[in-house]
């Protein structure tokens, strides 16, 4: 397997009509993933782009055209900035200010009828300038035979705000709170946007890429953890 597969080497199964016009999100240095120590392999100087699947081109095939038509017919012009068909899944990128209207239409229009908002979560792409924070919604329509759709909205780090969809999908309540907790994305209009998994007074948002794994001093209210040599021992 090569370091950065491109859609035409057969590793990325693409839908019919998809052009290999991927979106670059960052680049990869070296070949073996090691960053510490001197490079003795000669491969350390390699730089290759990280290419995510790009916008699909009509016809999409696989029943996605019908869905895309219905979405386009019910949303404002320009609300859908990109449609990606990849690995048999459809993702629509929605302009932030149009999210509420698009979600409302996705739920209510008979041709769409996505009854369930199964999940809301965040992804942090530090190298995606101006769109560092992505919010990903997974919708499902039971009416249309378990049809699935992924909706993605981006926000820059400097203005991490996304409209809340709780008024449309009450199920998104806790999911949005988790996304705020983990990524610091503010959901405007959420009824009670508070931390849900981390303690109320926790500083930082742990699942952002600039947040380290471990090494965070943990403090319990009014208590502390003694150094290892001062702890109770049983021998």
Partner 1 sequence: MSTQRTDSSVFESADFDSHETPDIFAAPGEDAGARVFTAQGGDWDDIVGDVGSLPEERIVVNMGPQHPSTHGVLRLILELEGETVTEARAGIGYLHTGIEKNMEFRTWVQGVTFCTRMDYVMPLFTETAYCLAVEKLLGITDEVPERASAIRVLMMELNRITSHLVCMGTGGMEMGATTVMTVGFRERERILSIFEMISGLRMNHAYIRPGGVAQDLPAGSIQAIREMMPLLRKGFHELELLMNENPILKGRTVGVGYLDLAGCMALGITGPVLRSAGLPHDLRKAAPYCGYENYDFDVVTRTGADAYDRLRNRIDEMYQSLDIIEQVIDVLQGHAGPVMVADKKIAWPAQLAIGSDGMGNSLAHIKEIMGTSMESLIHHFKLVTEGFRVPPGQAYAAVESPKGELGCHLVSDGGTRPFRAHFREPSFNNLQAVAAMCEGSQVADVIVAVASIDPVMGGVDR
Q: Which residues contact partner 1 (rule: CB under 8 A)?
A: 1, 3-5, 11-13, 22, 25-26, 28, 32-33, 50-53, 86-89, 91, 115-119, 121, 123-124, 136, 138, 140, 142, 145-146, 148, 150, 169-175, 178, 195-201, 206-207, 213, 220-223
**Whose Cβ is closer to partner 1: residue 42's or residue 78's?**
42
Residues in the chain, how many? 235
Is the separation of the CB atoms in 92 and 82 below 8 Å?
yes
C-alpha 189/C-alpha 177 separation (Å) is: 12
Question: CA separation (Å) from 231 to 19, 75, 192, 219?
Answer: 62, 62, 40, 16
Least Å distance, CB 142 to partner 1, is 6
C-alpha 160/C-alpha 171 separation (Å) is: 22
Least Å distance, CB 158 to partner 1, is 21
Least Å distance, CB 77 to partner 1, is 27
**Whose Cβ is closer to partner 1: residue 33's or residue 217's?**
33
**Whose Cβ is closer to partner 1: residue 5's or residue 76's?**
5
**Whose Cβ is closer to partner 1: residue 96's or residue 134's?**
134
**Whose Cβ is closer to partner 1: residue 50's or residue 101's?**
50
**Whose Cβ is closer to partner 1: residue 45's or residue 88's?**
88
SS3 140: strand
Question: What does the DSSP 8-state code read for residue 217?
Answer: P
Least Å distance, CB 49 to partner 1, is 9
Least Å distance, CB 92 to partner 1, is 13
**Whose Cβ is closer to partner 1: residue 78's or residue 222's?**
222
Tokens linked to 153: 């909205």
Is the separation of the CB atoms in 122 and 134 below 8 Å?
yes
Question: CA separation (Å) from 143 to 107, 109, 147?
Answer: 11, 11, 8
SS3 98: helix
Least Å distance, CB 75 to partner 1, is 22
Least Å distance, CB 76 to partner 1, is 25
Alpha helices (runs of H) in 85-162, residue ranges in sequence order: 99-108
**CA-based nearest residue to 120, from 205, 187, 67, 199:** 187
């Amino acid at each position: 397997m090569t370091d950065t597969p491109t859609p035409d080497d057969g590793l990325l199964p693409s839908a019919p009509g998809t052009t290999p016009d991927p979106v670059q999100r960052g680049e990869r240095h070296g070949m073996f993933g090691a960053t510490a120590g001197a490079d003795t392999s000669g491969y350390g100087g390699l730089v290759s782009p990280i290419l995510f699947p790009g916008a699909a081109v009509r016809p999409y095939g696989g029943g996605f055209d019908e869905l895309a038509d219905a979405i386009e017919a019910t949303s404002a012009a320009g609300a859908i900035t990109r449609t990606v068909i990849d690995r048999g899944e459809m993702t629509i990128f929605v302009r932030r200010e149009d999210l509420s209207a698009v979600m409302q239409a996705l739920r209510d229009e008979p041709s769409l009828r996505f009854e369930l908002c199964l999940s809301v979560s965040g992804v942090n792409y530090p190298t995606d300038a101006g769109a560092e924070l992505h919010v990903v919604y997974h919708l499902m329509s039971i009416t249309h035979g378990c049809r699935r759709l992924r909706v993605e909205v981006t926000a820059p780090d400097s203005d991490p705000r996304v409209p809340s969809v709780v008024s449309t999908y009450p199920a998104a309540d806790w999911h949005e709170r988790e996304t705020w907790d983990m990524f610091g994305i503010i959901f405007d209009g959420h009824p009670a946007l508070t931390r849900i998994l981390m303690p109320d007074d926790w500083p930082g948002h742990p699942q952002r890429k600039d947040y380290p794994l471990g090494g965070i001093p943990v403090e319990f209210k009014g208590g502390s953890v003694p150094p290892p040599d001062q702890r109770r021992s049983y021998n």
